[in-house]
Amino acid sequence: MKISRILIEMSSTLIRAISPISIPVGLPYVEEAFIARTYQFDGTLTSRRSDQALITDPERATQQALDLVLKGKVQALNGSEVKIHADTLCVHGDNPNAVVLLARVRNKGGKRASKFCHWT
- The pLDDT score that the predictor gives to residue 115 is 60
The pLDDT mean for the chain works out to 79
- pLDDT, one tens digit per residue, over 44-72 is 899 989 999 999 888 999 999 989 988 99
- The pLDDT score that the predictor gives to residue 52 is 95
- The pLDDT score that the predictor gives to residue 9 is 45
- The pLDDT score that the predictor gives to residue 46 is 92
Is the full-model pTM beyond 0.75?
no
Which is more confident, 57 or 22? 57
Element (H, E) at 39: none
**Distance from C-alpha of 36 to C-alpha of 29, rounded to nearest angstrom:** 22
**Distance from C-alpha of 25 to C-alpha of 46, rounded to nearest angstrom:** 32
- The pLDDT score that the predictor gives to residue 87 is 83
What are the φ/ψ torsions at residue 88 (nearest 5 degrees)? -150, 150
pLDDT at 73 over 90: yes
Mean pLDDT, to the nearest integer, of 78-82? 96
Which is more confident, 115 or 72? 72
- The pLDDT score that the predictor gives to residue 114 is 58
